[in-house]
Chains A and B, each alone.
Chain A
């Protein structure tokens, strides 16, 4: 059986897990027995080092070490804060893709994340034996389309097929649901290193239905560290020109982070560091004083909580359980505020650092067919729309809509012989287009005709990963129109391909040989899938259909013996096309069966 792993690609730490029989387990490095890989990549001599070693180097090599790369996934230059610019040097290439400058080279955030994913992949392969090629990766529920796409790109660059992106709070609920067999309404409060999420779910007989989600993708334990670090530098009267130096900031953040952890148990602690010139700084910080420093940060997490409750149409009292996820929920003030908001003691029986990875492992098991009793129904966190007349955002899909979902919009022309309609796709809750996140721009090609006569249906489909796909079809001719979608922030497919080709792993390998191997593998998978369909669903075949499918299969098999990978890909597409009507018929039957099978839901239908 193919192995699918679940990965928590965190801001601070990353973990990999898998479903062992019915129990999810995190995978430890066989060499060190450690389960956590710090999400830190350092390039001390130009070559990347990932994890604990990179983290140890961070305070002294701030110029060649990237931490918290997740905060930069899917962003453009205009989204950077002053603190970001102070911390790293960036260049911006092409449309909006950020790159970190590290010595002589530059890296995009997905490339850095891919290095972390490769380390997790290596670890999983060492522990489990055999190659790992498929993964479920978790993302903050509040990640927008660009951030999700960047995560998927990172997976591809690491040599992983990302079968599914799962929202972190949902993954946590999955781990708890499996653990406690609980039912009812659950709020997941997920405060990690760099992101905050809250999700409200209904759990019933193995269905995990997300009712609403909210959050802030730029709010986390990092902000707590910054607050304490800047307190330390100010209180110790470090001159501004010294305090602003990157190496000093990195040292202060490390001191702050350590003090923060101690204050989870102690009432007071010493925040201490040594400046590069040897001066030692030490200040006593009480928990009360620390609470006052970080209270505004914690208060910011409560806004999305109230919004999520309102969106779910629930009051705090309707929530049956509150689950804490993420290392930052160890802060006593966080627990106190959550307790106050929901009026109940939050649950944290599963290690908050591991629960997301465990849930990702469960979802990997579900996709691998090992848990047929469980199903996740997640939502899109942000509304999706297009820019219309006067720079207004017109919403097509509302936030908190269950995914997958689609919206069809019909477009026509305003002037005679117009050959295209330009579209600008947006995501966000603001009413003015420029206040929303720009996702992509594209032109719908239209055949010249009298104004208002052409009609093109554009389908905006958000898949189960929360990622948008756009297709267009001419209503009169029924022809699909291909769209050249330009992502506003992020890599195009071609760029990811190019990076793959340039990456170290493939450097010595012949690109053509790799493409051939890939196309052969894809062809073999497709043939296997269709053989299975033919075997299981013979009853749905129409006269002559099986012969046509088998003929296409034989042609493909023949081509796969040869070395022309373009031909193999084309014939695979042809086989896929010829089997499409059969697929639709099978699904139609599934739908009817679901409707007729009145006991499927366990209750009796009226």
Chain B
């Protein structure tokens, strides 16, 4: 009997401590043939499980252009993420996926891309960023606006440093007022404000946005002001999920299951949904 809920086994091969409560884990399939054949698209997600603690939903934070492994980034906030954060290199976790739709990266060929992320919301955006950077010739200007509450909350610090050095990416980093340290040389201000100051090109452009609901709420009007059409603004929803397969009913919003028809939606599609995300 085929069991759609049966996970694949993966080994943790590397753990990066991103912040005081956030870690990135590099994962490799224990089944060698699956490690070869596994493929996914930027924006998709998976059900990760710690045996004995349960399953939890994260995006696939690595880029599909990087083969042979997966990465997930998570904050220690609940039962499963606590158990996950206690695991070591070499330990086994379960993985089901990839699930859901994706960012239509091929549709972005020949366009400017503005990535806007807040806090750990950079994780799904980072998958697309690397996807685009690995195919750099296919896109025009790439702008990344990334903010966190405090300097200590910024994730992927080593990659932020890499992107800062690259001449083919414009990275703008910011922390919320009060979140800066004496050494902080980047911007101080909320993401919507910094976005407006940065004033990225809106013609022939798409914007990809992920962060806390309050950030998205105040960023959408700014994008509108800058001239982005609702169809050109993409976001990924993080509704609570369990099965990831459109069965368990948890992520149902209006006529859609976020896990099947989403998690990636355009701002236009979000307007059609009841505001329950």
* Chains A and B bind each other: no
Residue numbers of B with Cβ under 8 A of A are none
A residues adjacent to B (C-beta < 8 A) = none
